Structure 1
Amino acid sequence: MRNGLIITAIICTLLGHTNMAVAQQPLFKNYTANDGLISNAIRRIFQDSKGFMWIATWEGLSKYNGYNFKNFNTANGLSQNLVNDIYENKNGQLYIALNSGDIDMLDGNRVMGKAVACTAVVNRFITSPTNQVIALTDREGILELSNGKMVKPAQSFPAQTYADLIWLSDSLFIASDENSLKAFDRHFNLLTQTLVGDNKYHETKLYQDSKKRIWLGTYTGLKLMDGVPGKNRPSAFAPLPAAFAIPELQQGKINAIFEDAAGTIWFGTTDGLVKINTDGSNQLLTVKNGLSSNIVTCLMEDKENNLWVGTAVGISKIVTKGGVRLYPIENGVSSNDNLFLLYPFKKDHFLVSTNKGTKIFNANTGQFSATARDGKAWRGVVPATAPPLFFSSGNLAAFDTLTSSFTSKQELPSLAVSKIAGDKNGNLFLSDMEHLYFSSGNTLVKILNYRISSLLVDQQGDLWAGTWQNGLFRIRYTFTRNNFIILAKQHLLPYQNTRCLFEDAQQNIWVGTRYHGVYRVAKNNGGTLAIAGFNQSDGLTSNFIKAIRQDARGNVWVAFYQGLDKLIAEGTSFRVFNFSKVNNYYASVIGMETDSARSIWLATGEGLAHITDGNMEKFAPLPVYITSINTPDSTYPLNANNIQLGHLQNQLQFEFSSPGFINERQLLYSYRLTGSASAEWSKQGNQHTVSYASLNPGHYIFEVRNLGWNGAWGKPAAFTFTIRPPFWQTWWFITIAFFCGVLFIYQFVKW
């Protein structure tokens, strides 16, 4: 479709960017020529049966194996650089449709030459419900790839150019050309057509979603077909549903349409990526949100449900299972001396401290709105107060959800209050920078002479006070007749710099520290306490803990300054899952909270982050493949096995990878070479290449395996080879030499 390519190229050059401010945005991972991609101008994205990604561009073909790009163009065998589409046969061989009309074959990492004889330019390969492989062409109608040959079935329009085709059933499909929509039966007989003229359907994209709606992406926006066309029943169009009747889908060119596994429908346009959620809400994602370019050319969902977005300036990937959603706030969540406000005052609504005052955040819409102005900068909520009290410098107040204002204000004692907590009787515990006090009415009693970092009144009514550098105190008290009495006081973790406290659903107390990670203080039946610690030696990313919370599944989340770890209960202990590392999510964390569903929310220096956990710690190991086998002078086919090498070919290099793309840099491998001096499995790491030198003659098996995020090792990939000994070490040479020696000695003695 040469004319279409020229038009697309002009659009890619001339169109500017349209930005639209949105509240929620996903995390993008971008890949460009700087990362090794052969070209930034993306045309198609394809995943093969093993799981590796193939990217068709204007300047060649790239294979992405999870750690680098293997590129193909005319310099290493392709007939032309401009790639239209890719098809894989049952043997794992790839057919590469080029805009020159050639179809090349790739087997492994090698260009094998022409796959089939073809004189037509193939624009698309499409597989029917009955596994019939159809090729859409320029001016040659529809071809069929059958038994390794291109054949042209009898058809109504043998010289037509087709842009796209979708099968509506195993006996009906519709196709778009420059001037019309045509409906055919499976024998390519025309049932009906709708003529529009003026190239209105030029490069039209066709898509049928899970609700059987038929969408058309055109140069003039989105169209919805009214029902299914049939014999003598031409195509008609219906009004767009309200969720889709938005300017972003009605004013520009639609290049791609895709519905993901969750039912979200994505539209690739020349003004960005449009997302229509299942609830009808919509969002425009542009370069402002991290997209590589506003000109989206293709969409593809891989086997892990990651969404790959091809653009005019590279690829953007959205990890849908990661479950991190961002809600930016200008200058982030406001905090002062580790005090901040992130409080769920009702379902799906939070009070949030910002540098422009306290805001109400609606999690359903992702929007922020102002509270009624009262001139106060509210610094946090008082734990264990009902109804909840909020404090600022010198004041307490309740929050009226009807008027969105802070009411019933009262003054605090004349202290520079830095931390505050309350009990179920309405008493308060206050700290300044040097002391801890009990406060009730006019009663003010000094309890401790330490700088307090965190306060908690547990479900049993005991006070827990974490100090800046003098450990943790547990205080049992009573207050009757204006008399505060300490019944018992325990000093725990005396040399720890505590930073946060949390009580879980099992009434364990969790203590976050500055230098030694997190401690769990469990209450035994006999009244004793059992303390267990978790730190970097146990797998934590950081020993500096900012906040601790528990989700609805009982997992304990630990926030450090730049991200999150997750503690998963296993037996009597916990397994550490490095959530931020796996999800590639890092932020300047201020604090953490849970909503009414006990879902995790972060307050950060960039805004809010909602952690809708995908339970990736349960993911089993992926298949691992050996992707390259080399000696200094040779490269061996990937399907070769038990190769025989000469004694001088005793240096081998292996490359390997697992086609997992949630976070390629966090996939861990281990390998070994059986038959070598050390046949032990290597230490796990994100290493994809290993070399062996000066191998002795013998029989070897190279094995590599992948570690799943569930902590289990997968099945190893193996390669067998033999290094032959030099001829003077072979049995026949030694035998001949032995008899020659015997004969020589015999002749010498006889002489």
Structure 2
Amino acid sequence: MSGRRRTLEGMGIWEHFTVQDGLPDMKIECLFEDSRGELWIGTHNRGVVRFDGDHFEVFTTRDGLLGNNVFSILEDREGNLWFGTDGGLSCYDGWKLQPVFPESGECRSLYRGCCMDRQGRLWFGERLHLGRPATVWRWDGKRLERILLSSDEGTVRCIVEDRDGNLWFGVSTRLYSFDGEDFELVIGPSSPFEYIWSLLPRPDGLLWIGGSKGLFIYDGKHFRRKDQRFVNCRALLEEPSGTIWLTTSDGRVWQCRRDNCKFQLVRDLDIELRGNMCLDRIGRLWVGTYGMGLYCYDAVRFEVFRETHGLPSNRVYCLAEDKDGTVWVGMDGGITGYDGENFRRVEMLNKEHHILSLLVDGKGRLWMGTSGGKLYMNEEGKLHPVLETDYLSLTSIAGDSKGRIWFGFTNIGGFGYCGDGIVRLFQSEAEEICPREIGALLVDRRGRLWVGSSHPGRWDGLRRYDISSLLSEEGKFASFTQADGMAGGAVLSLYEDRDGVLWISTTQGVSSYDGKKFRTFTREDGLPHEVVTAITQTDDGKMWFGTEGGGVCCYDGKVLQTIKIPEDPYNVVYAVHQDRTGRIWFGTGGGLVRYSPLEEPPEVAVTEMLADRRYDVSGRDAVEVPTTAGRISFRFRGRSPTQRASGLVYRYRLEGYDDDWRQTNDTQVDYPPLRPGKYLFCVQAVDCDLNYSDVAEVALRVVEDPRIVGLTEALRSSGASNEFVGKSSALREVLSQVYRVAPTELTVLILGETGTGKGLVARAVHGLSTRRGGPFIQINCGAIPEGLVESELFGHERGAFTGAVSKKLGKVELAEGGTLFFDEIGDLALSAQAKLLRLLE
């Protein structure tokens, strides 16, 4: 009897975190994900670390932790975090760390064994102390209680609870159980597994035991060895799907799928592992090492297929899907098809040629173009050569409604078609009608042929031909270039979306053409890279763009977002395709990637608002800001369960100021000084799968500065015949300065062109000063004759000079107790300015 055919599974993507990413210690003792989705990392001697997907935040003894060597982490039902350290037990309520001490005895160095039972009690194992019995500590919500497992000493390395609520304790070479009332020694020092490193209770009631002698299974009566390959089996972990993960101390990570029942090596990290693994809420595996930091394995979103899975090579150029759902993959050295379970390879006539283009026509036949300028057709498993030329790189194939297959050559060969039993090439030496360097071609729904240039130095842009005109050798065409708004550079691919919009990818961006105008996207608009190699549209209407080094970019008509794969070869993308199951395939320089988007929306919160000071935005009331506050800045922070926060894109707008939403990758946006009125700041976080967070809002009310209102009232009350007219930001800034300087005893310099109101400002300073009860004396310096300057300023006695018939007080003396205003002071003679300077000093 034949067994069920096993589906071939791809590899996930590994991401590595080290001290260069902010991790404080490369030696990791334990891992735990809390109910908020944040990862907690216990380190060897740098405390405990909280990782929100983007930043590492460290807590040590300086913050209240009892020890910097953190071996175990648990979360209770109230959301408090508990840390078992080399100095005892600490609890974190989200605000501060508190030590937890027993009523009697000394809670010494705790170890990796920890568990919360179904009653909510917390259990922690203690490390070996010579002469001290094997000990566990239990927290029942009120007190910390010491429990002796036996009179023998030992380290409690693991504590687990089975499906029936029994607890199991791995203590050095011994195994204990606890049924809620009594502890029982199940097996003593003569156990076959020697040291117990890990325990895993299975849903079927079996207990898996990882020991220094291999992997064992206990059925309640007998122990049997399951696999002796896993010497020093340090950690066991089971997914909800039944997949089991296992690590060994020599750095190997193994996986056993439920439908396979055999362990397969996933990766050899080649570094010591000490039994710390964790699954996060979306199913990614986190592995902590003892010397090489932290690893994350994502096989939930990413599956990679390479030569080890049956591909001819790891460089994938093109993708197509036939009517049976087989995904065809063109690459270096050949072509293979994935039928949903395995790859089947098509033997090529010339294995040295690379498959650069693929097309499945209306009859289900597969067409392929090669780097050697050959065109093949695969029908019912038989490969037929259709065209053999001396030209290189047949990089583009398209079909029209008449069954003709159009093709184009990148170098010299021009373009042509096969159909009706003939093959025809269109070439022109002068390239006036039929260019010879074709980057991409496409037949749209209206039956028009679009041809893009692969060599802008010879001919530029895009041409549109009426096929009937082309076949009749009239050769009429329309031409489009960068001057029309299209992205410049060589054309790499063409795509028509469901609305009939043409998309053109080039070496300088991507453009859309709706029949009337072009719209172009570049790095400034959010593209991760200017060289856009591939385009497709998924069932939900989103556009996907492959780039050469920047990963994949998707666009929903509002936001451009990037899917960046942690390992660089996979970010060189040559092809993008969505299969009938909804999963998306990337042909890359490192292999074939199958991507499964997730629907896990991010979160965002506005953290603060900055203007003339820092404003609290935590309340529901509108934040009130004066008009003189100047520039207004909003800071916000996003968080995603599926990616780093630094990869989020933010949409924002200020209602009352912005007409539409804007996009940014920054976490702060700035606005100029605002007019009085009501505003509403809105921001959304958008992840790489174009999931949108809820909108975070801050209401803002900009009001006239009460200081300026007081200034105006003071001017009016002082009898000034004029007042300030206007509400510009510049005028508000001047009035703010007047308000600040008026109460002081400083000398004030007022600059400005004639007629700008220097005198009005001077009166305002006087009216708001402590001298407002004294006189305001204004001197028009430009109207004083040079010989009378000193007399005007300082006065004179009778007979002091010819014409001095009486004593005269100077303006300086007259202004005693008040304010002296020198208008046009720059017109004074330099000698008089020197004397005036000594007066002011």
* Same-fold status (TM-score > 0.5): yes
1:97 is matched with 84
TM-superposed CA distance for 1:54, in Å, is: 2.7
Partner of 1:206: 199
Structure 1: which amino acid aligns with 2:494? L
Structure 1's 188 and 598: CA in aligned 2 closer, same or farther, altered over 3 A? same
Equivalent-residue separation in structure 2 for 1:489 and 1:318 (angstroms): 52
Determine helix, strand or coil for the equivalent of 1:665. Answer: helix
Aligned residues of 1:38 and 1:59 also touching (Cα < 8 A): no
1:293 to 242, 267, 271: 271
User: Which structure has more strand as a fraction of its residues?
Assistant: 1
Call closer, same or farther: CA 1:154–1:224 in 2, change over 3 Å: closer
8 A contact 1:332–1:604 mirrored in 2? no
* Map of 1:408 onto structure 2: 384
The one-letter code of the counterpart of 1:133 is L
Corresponding residue for residue 755 of structure 2:
none
Alpha-carbon contact 1:38-1:62 (below 8 Å) kept: no
Partner of 1:184: 178
Return the offset for 1:44: 0.8
What is the 5 A alignment of 1:592-741? 592-595=576-579, 597=581, 599-615=583-599, 619-621=601-603, 658=639, 660=641, 662-667=643-648, 707-709=685-687, 710-712=691-693
Deviation at residue 130 of structure 1 after TM alignment = 1.5
Q: 1:713 to 1:141 in 2, by over 3 A?
A: same
Measured in 2, the distance between the counterparts of 1:46 and 1:376 equals: 50
**How far apart are 1:506 and its partner, in Å?**
5.2
Aligned with residue 397 of structure 1, among 376, 383, 407: 376
Structure 1: which 5+ residue stretches go unaligned?
1-21, 522-527, 627-637, 639-653, 673-680, 691-702, 719-740, 742-751
How far off is 1:266 after superposition? 1.6
TM-fit CA distance, 1:358: 1.5
Shift of 1:299: 0.7
Whether 1:274 aligns to 2:254 is yes
* Counterpart in the other structure of 2:137: 143
Say which SS state the counterpart of residue 454 (structure 1) adopts.
strand
Instruction: In structure 2, give the amino acid aligned to 1:314.
Output: G
1:96/1:105 contact within 8 Å kept: yes
Moved more, 324-333 or 119-128: 324-333
d(CA) in 1 for partners of 2:652, 2:48: 27
Offset of 1:63 from its aligned partner? 1.8
- Paired position in structure 1 for 2:829: none
Match of 2:561 among 562, 565, 577: 577
SS in structure 1 at match of 2:564: helix
The whole-number CA distance in structure 2 between the counterparts of 1:655 and 1:510 is 34
* C-alpha distance in 2 between matches for 1:491 and 1:82: 69
Deviation at 1:382, TM superposition (A): 5.4
Is 1:223 aligned with 2:223?
A: no
Query: In structure 2, what residue type is equivalent to 1:122?
Result: L
Which residue of structure 1 aligns with residue 434 of structure 2? 449
8 A Cα contact 1:670 1:685, kept in partner:
no
Task: Quote the offset at 1:129 in angstroms.
Answer: 0.9
- Asked if residue 55 in structure 1 is aligned to residue 41 in structure 2, the reply is yes
Q: Which residue of 2 aligns with 1:464?
A: 450
Q: Tell me how far apart the structure 2 counterparts of residues 56 and 179 of structure 1 sit (CA, whole Å).
A: 25
CA contact (8 A) 1:103 1:116 kept: no
Q: Could you report, residue by residue, the CA deviation over 1:146-199 in whole angstroms, capped at 9, with x for unpaired residues?
A: 344222469787977543232224643333333443433112354x72456157
1:452-505 superposed Cα distances (whole Å, 9 cap, x missing partner): 2211234554322223443333333349xx974669754455744432112345
Q: How far apart are 1:398 and its partner, in Å?
A: 3.0
1:475 aligns with 2:465: yes
Q: CA deviation at 1:562?
A: 1.8
Separation of aligned partners in 2, 1:321 and 1:584 = 19
Structure 1 distance, partners of 2:639, 2:423, is 67
In structure 2, what is the Cα distance between the partners aligned to 1:81 and 1:134? Answer: 20
* Alpha-carbon shift at residue 517 of structure 1 (Å): 1.7
* CA distance in 2 between partners of 1:61 and 1:500 (Å): 52
Q: 1:296 and 1:588, CA in 2 relative to 1: closer, same or farther beyond 3 A?
A: farther
* Normalised TM-score (structure 1): 0.68
SS in 1 for 2:162: strand
Quick check: 1:333–1:352 contact (8 Å CA) kept in 2? no
- The one-letter amino acid of 2:466's match is R
Instruction: Select which of 111, 129, 141 maps to 2:118.
Output: 129
Letter paired with 2:23: L
8 Å contact kept, 2:319–2:327: no
The answer on 1:316 being equivalent to 2:295 is: yes
Q: After TM superposition, list the pairs within 5 Å mapping 1:349-360 onto structure 2.
A: 350-354=328-332, 357-360=333-336
Deviation at 1:135, TM superposition (A): 2.7
Larger Rg: 2
Query: Equivalent residue for 1:13?
Result: none
CA contact (8 A) 1:669 1:704 kept: no
SS of the residue 1:204 aligns to:
strand
Q: Do 2:89 and 2:107's aligned partners in 1 also have CA atoms closer than 8 Å? A: no
What's 2:71 paired with? 84
Q: What is the aligned partner in structure 2 of residue 539 from structure 1?
A: 526
In structure 2, C-alpha distance between the alignment counterparts of 1:298 and 1:566, rounded to whole Å: 35
Q: Residue 110 of structure 2 aligns to which amino acid in structure 1? A: V
Letter in 1 for 2:547: F
CA contact (8 A) 2:114 2:160 kept: no
For the 8 Å contact 1:666–1:686, the answer to whether it is kept is: no
Q: Residues 493 and 261 (structure 1 numbering): CA distance in 2 closer, same or farther, change over 3 Å?
A: farther
Matched, 1:548 2:532: no
Q: Secondary structure at the match of 2:23?
A: coil
Q: CA deviation at 1:314?
A: 1.4
- Find the aligned partners of 2:638 and 2:558 in 1 and give their Cα distance: 30
Aligned equivalent of 2:235, options 256, 270, 292: 256
Change (3 A) 1:615 1:84: closer
Displacement after TM superposition at 1:655 (Å): 11
Partner of 1:502: 495
Any conservation in 2 of the 1:583–1:662 contact (CA below 8 Å)? Answer: no
CA shift digits 1:415-450 (9 cap, x unpaired): 566455444655444545454445552655558332
Counterparts of 1:670 and 1:488, CA distance in 2: 45
1:630 — aligned with what?
none
1:383: which partner in 2? 359
RMSD: 4.8
Q: What is the Cα deviation at residue 377 of structure 1?
A: 1.4
**What is the CA-CA distance between 1:593 and the residue it aligns to?**
3.8
Question: Deviations 1:256-277 (Å, cap 9, x if unpaired)?
Answer: 1222355532212224111233
AA aligned to 2:143 is: K
- Residue 210 of structure 1 and its aligned partner are, at CA, apart by 5.3
TM-score in terms of structure 2 length: 0.61
Q: Is the 8 A contact 1:623 1:659 kept in 2?
A: no
User: 2:25 maps to what in 1?
Assistant: 39
